[in-house]
Structure 1
Amino acid sequence: METVNIDALPYVDKEYDDPGMKKIVDDLISDEMKNNISKDKFTIPKSETIFKKNPLMRSEYERKRRGENMAPFDTSRYRLQPPSGSAENDPKEWEKSMKNAKSQLEHQDIRIENLELLSMYGQRSWVMHNDFLEKYSDILSKELETSKEEVLHVNKSRKYEQTEAMIKLSNLESLWAERVYKIAQLKVAIASLEGYLESHESN
């Protein structure tokens, strides 16, 4: 993996706060972006058809897209009406009606059993579930606080390192300015000495 050296010091660099410098930087970024060639991998992918393998979900999805309401449930089987009319004397229709009645009775028995179980254990189960959620919430809260502390530590470390770097840069800049000034003084002294020697040689 290629190592990238980042020399930006956002905690101490103040040049970008200057409107003139900000404009220069923004113009450079804008020019660079104009030169970028758009690639296919950066384009938004085409939408894919969902629920390909589930016709029921697909039809419901299309219904919602069209804004149509769901068809009401057929509750005729729950009415337990006996055969009527021409079917009143048909044994098969009566047998069908009896099977439906037995099925509904079994369904009601199961509902009653579930209600009894809920009455016996529902409160305890709900309390346990709430206790689990509370403990899980505490765990997530602690993880969040830990993450915040880690982020704060990283930011403090960066600020400290950048402040130390700025001090070194300031010292080096001062040293550079001092050396440049001394070199300029030496050049002036050399030029003066050369002029003095030339004037004496001509005499």
Structure 2
Amino acid sequence: MAGTVLVAGEIVVDALPYFDQGYEGPNIHEEAEALVEEETHRYRSTKNNQSYLIVQNYSGSENDIMINEFQRLADQQPIEFLSMKWYELTAPSSGQKNVIIAWQGCVNNSMLQLEHQAVRIENLEVMSQQWLGINKNLVHMIEHTQKELQKLKKHIIIEGKLMVKTLQNGKEIFGSDVSDKGFITNFTETRSKEEKQFKSDI
């Protein structure tokens, strides 16, 4: 691998990307793991780095209905069918067909059901208005993510071209002394120029 030297601007260069050799040598992976293990034992943490984290309460928003439903799913029980009895418009019994009070009770029940349905419709309208704002936020998040994805793709393309070019340059000077300061300086400056050129072309 390349030696450590100073190049223009006093930048320390101790590696040449895609050109350094030796990473795939025998026992390299085991030696790296041994170094990491040794350092973790030598510099043990003196405090709990997770002490600032808040213990998450994932059941805080569960109500009795949700708890019962989760329990039903855990027990693999079939779902209960929705009862429509409350919505039935019942008529007076056969013995009260001519009783005005009985019919008045049925009418009151119908009016209550209509009022209930009106409240439900109003709630749905409020939800639809709220959804418009939520939907705008979702669209904004998607657009932002797509822009970030395009930037990432450009970086991948640039790095791919740089890798190919770097490997080509490496083959041309293979066998040279890569620890030579002049070689590393020229190699680094050439890569920097190529990177700027690739970014300007995209």
Which bracket does the TM-score occupy, shorter chain normalised? 0.3 to 0.5
Q: Highest relative contact order (Cα 8 Å, sep 6+), 1 or 2? A: 2
TM-score, normalization: structure 1? 0.44
Q: Which has the higher helix share?
A: 1
TM-score, normalization: structure 2? 0.44
